């Protein structure tokens, strides 16, 4: 059984029992409202979201191979006890009346125990009788290959020296789940280039423990119980955290568009009156996993500013900047239309700044691990933006890459909040703007 289906069944089983526990408790109590009435359905939905969020926050949706059954059951029991106390206390404070009805709390508490029984049998069954699906991988090597790769089926062996021609062939093979890199620590440059090449794809990357000293500065690692290899992780956000980050992005972008619509309208009028040309400036940018999208900004330069030069960086006191642009750029007002890119899912509010495809292709060749920036959504602001100035040289790009990698390796919602607040201070002080 694949990990995807294992976790899907676990999640659906929890959701079914949580919903059933609520509806059975509602029916068993002295509540007069019908079980299929709007109050019962809304209460059940909110509690379902509440419990699933708690379970996810406690890492109760890891694959069976990564957990010890009794430890998980104990953690779930503790979480249910604490969750019930918080739920009942909050309901009493908010004066939710059905909590006070005779019979609901005892019935709900007893019904929640069914989750522990379900987890015991299901997780036990998976651990004892259902073997996880073996992953098909391609192995890159430069010497002796580990005899027992564990849970992996090696489809193809490729020398590290031939990595340049390998990715294109592998990407066409939909049966491949990931790559292994088995090296004796020699030819580190080839190892870094292979990892960088595959970092932008959806394939899993595993490396020999001997390579830990080579790449520990560039990524995080996860030990695999059934294999001697280490899984390479480029950012620590779980799927739940990524989901929350996306929900926050949508909520803030919608609210910002509503609140800022008068300001956006005024800026659009001023831009149109100031110089000939369109209000918005649109550029192709490279986003998550190398996917291109159209970035939208208020035009702060004369129309066709790069007609004769091609893609170039803006300079201090750049003569191409318009009068309105000279007002907008210090306060980053020209970036506001990118809120639409956030709403579309092409960007996030916080992340590495998206670059133009021409620059990305050049930097990929010249800077090791530049492609790691493409493992997360680009952002309107980022750690590099609050720690450094606008790009004016190749050295600036390399310095910013270090800040981007530092952000990616330490991603969290708390860090996003910190960067957002620092961005506000940076804008107020007009730091790094031109």
CATH number of the domain at 145, please.
Answer: 3.40.50
pLDDT range class, residue 241, cuts 50, 70, 90: confident
Per-residue exposure over 51-65, b if at least 16 CB sit within 10 Å of its own CB, e if not: bbebbbeeebbeebe
Is 272 within a domain? yes
Same domain, 271 and 360: yes
pLDDT at 433 over 60: no
Which tokens hold the place of 85?
């106390």
pLDDT of res. 353: 93
Provide the domain limits for residue 185: 135-233
pLDDT range class, residue 5, cuts 50, 70, 90: confident
List Cβ neighbours of 197 (8 Å cut-off, separation of 6 or more).
163, 167, 371
Q: Please give the Cα distance from 16 to 118 (Å, whole number).
A: 11
The tokens 């270090």 sit on which residue?
A: 402
pLDDT of res. 347: 96
pLDDT range class, residue 278, cuts 50, 70, 90: very high
**Residues 160, 140: contact at Cβ < 8 Å?**
yes
pLDDT at 146 over 70: no
Average pLDDT over residues 341-361: 92
Which tokens hold the place of 237?
């956000």
Same domain, 248 and 283: yes
Same domain, 246 and 352: yes
Average pLDDT over residues 366-386: 87
Which tokens hold the place of 28?
């068993």
Average pLDDT over residues 5-29: 87
Same domain, 274 and 393: yes
pLDDT of res. 323: 92
Q: Is 278 left (phi over 0), alpha (psi -120 to 50) or beta?
A: beta
Is 156 within a domain? yes
pLDDT of res. 309: 61
Which tokens hold the place of 406?
């530092």
Measured between alpha carbons, how far apart are the two ends of the chain, in Å?
A: 56
Per mean pLDDT, which range of 103-112, 172-181, 370-379 is the poorest? 172-181
**Could you say which of 210, 233, 256 is where a domain stops?**
233
Same domain, 85 and 57: yes
Average pLDDT over residues 232-258: 85
pLDDT range class, residue 385, cuts 50, 70, 90: confident
Domain count, the chain: 3
pLDDT at 335 over 90: yes
pLDDT range class, residue 392, cuts 50, 70, 90: low
pLDDT at 345 over 80: yes
Same domain, 93 and 142: no
Query: Mean pLDDT of all residues in the chain?
Result: 82
In percent, the amount of the chain with pLDDT more than 90 equals 24
**Could you say which of 213, 233, 253 is where a domain stops?**
233
Same domain, 119 and 16: yes
When comparing pLDDT for 272 and 314, which is higher? 272
pLDDT range class, residue 200, cuts 50, 70, 90: confident
Same domain, 308 and 384: yes
Is 434 within a domain? no
pLDDT of res. 342: 95
Q: Which residues are 297's β-sheet partners?
A: 281
List Cβ neighbours of 128 (8 Å cut-off, separation of 6 or more).
none
pLDDT at 432 over 60: no
Same domain, 269 and 180: no
**Could you say which of 94, 129, 164 is where a domain stops?**
129
Q: Is 185 left (phi over 0), alpha (psi -120 to 50) or beta?
A: left
**Residues 196, 163: contact at Cβ < 8 Å?**
no
**Residues 390, 432: contact at Cβ < 8 Å?**
yes
Q: Is 271 exposed, middle or buried (0-12, 13-18, 19+ CB in 10 A)?
A: buried
Same domain, 389 and 243: yes
**Residues 325, 299: contact at Cβ < 8 Å?**
yes
SS (H, E, C) the chain: CCHHHHHHHHHHHHHHHHHHHHHHHHHHCCCCCCCCCHHHHHHHHHHHHHHHHHHHHCCCCCCHHHCCHHHHHHHHHHHHHHHHHHHHHHHHHCCCHHHHCCCHHHHHHHHHHHHHHHHHHHHHHHHHHCCCCCEEEEEEECCCCCCCCCCEEEEEEEEHHHCCCHHHHHHCCCCCCEEEEECCCCCHHHHHHHHHHHHCCCCEEEECHHHHHHHCCCCEEEECCCCCCEEEECCCCCHHHHHHHHHHHHHHHHHHHHHHHHHHHHHHHHHHHHCCCCCEEEEEEECHHHCEEEEEEECCECCCCCCCCCCCCCCCCCCCECHHHHHHHHHCHHHCCHHHHHHHCCCEEECCCCECHHHHHHHHHHCCCHHHHHHCCCEEECHHHHHCCCCCCHHHHHHHHHHHHHHHHCCCHHHHHHHHHHHHHHHHHCCCCC
pLDDT of res. 431: 66
Is 123 within a domain? yes
pLDDT of res. 330: 86
pLDDT range class, residue 293, cuts 50, 70, 90: very high
- Closest to 330 measured CA to CA, from 427, 420, 422, 264: 427
List Cβ neighbours of 376 (8 Å cut-off, separation of 6 or more).
234, 235, 288, 348, 351, 352, 408, 411
Is 102 within a domain? yes
Same domain, 103 and 219: no
Opening angle at CA 354, ends 353 and 356, nearest 5: 135
- How many CA atoms lie less than 13 Å away from 152 in the CB half-sphere? 29
pLDDT at 114 over 70: yes
When comparing pLDDT for 419 and 141, which is higher? 419
**Residues 227, 221: contact at Cβ < 8 Å?**
no
When comparing pLDDT for 189 and 255, which is higher? 255
Which tokens hold the place of 257?
């568009």
List Cβ neighbours of 415 (8 Å cut-off, separation of 6 or more).
350, 383, 407
pLDDT at 182 over 80: yes
- Residues 204-219: tens digit of each pLDDT: 888 888 887 777 777 7
List Cβ neighbours of 335 (8 Å cut-off, separation of 6 or more).
297, 380
pLDDT of res. 124: 82
Same domain, 66 and 29: yes
């Amino acid at each position: 059984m694949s990990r995807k289906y294992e976790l899907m069944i676990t999640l659906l089983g929890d959701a079914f029992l949580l919903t059933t526990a609520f509806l059975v408790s509602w029916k068993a109590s002295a509540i007069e409202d019908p079980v299929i009435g709007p109050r019962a359905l809304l209460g059940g939905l909110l509690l379902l979201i509440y419990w699933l969020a708690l379970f996810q926050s406690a890492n109760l949706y890891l694959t069976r191979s990564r957990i010890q059954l009794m430890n998980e059951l104990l953690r779930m029991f503790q979480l249910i006890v604490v969750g019930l106390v918080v739920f009942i206390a909050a309901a009493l404070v908010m004066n939710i009346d059905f909590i006070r009805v005779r019979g609901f709390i005892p019935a709900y508490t007893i019904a929640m125990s069914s989750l522990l029984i379900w987890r015991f049998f299901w997780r036990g069954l998976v651990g004892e009788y259902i073997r996880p699906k073996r992953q098909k991988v391609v192995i890159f090597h430069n010497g002796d290959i580990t005899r027992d790769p564990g849970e992996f089926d090696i489809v193809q062996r490729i020398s590290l020296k031939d990595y340049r021609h390998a990715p294109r062939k592998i990407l066409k093979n939909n049966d491949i789940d990931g790559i292994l890199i088995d090296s004796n620590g020699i030819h580190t440059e080839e190892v870094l280039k292979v990892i960088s090449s595959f970092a932008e794809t959806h394939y899993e990357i595993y490396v020999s423990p001997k390579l830990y000293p080579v790449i520990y500065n560039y990524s995080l690692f996860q030990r695999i119980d059934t294999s001697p290899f280490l899984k390479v992780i480029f950012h620590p956000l779980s799927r739940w955290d990524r989901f929350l980050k996306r929900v926050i992005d949508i909520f803030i972008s919608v609210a910002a568009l509503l609140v800022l619509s008068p300001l956006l309208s005024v800026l659009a009028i001023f831009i149109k009156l100031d110089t000939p040309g369109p209000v918005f400036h649109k550029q192709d940018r490279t986003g998550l996993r190398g996917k291109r999208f159209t970035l939208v900004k208020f035009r702060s330069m004369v129309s066709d500013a790069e007609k004769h030069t091609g893609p170039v960086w803006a300079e201090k006191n750049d003569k191409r900047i318009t009068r309105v642009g000279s007002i907008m750029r210090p306060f980053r007002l020209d970036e506001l239309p990118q809120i639409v890119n956030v709403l579309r899912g092409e960007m996030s509010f916080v992340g590495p700044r998206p670059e133009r495809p021409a620059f990305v292709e050049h930097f990929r060749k010249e800077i090791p691990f530049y492609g790691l920036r493409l493992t997360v959504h680009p952002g309107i602001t980022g750690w590099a933006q609050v720690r450094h100035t606008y790009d004016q040289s190749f050295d600036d790009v390399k310095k910013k890459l270090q800040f981007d990698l530092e952000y990616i390796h330490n991603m969290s919602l708390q860090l996003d909040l910190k960067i957002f607040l620092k961005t506000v201070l940076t804008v107020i002080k007009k730091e790094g703007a031109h």
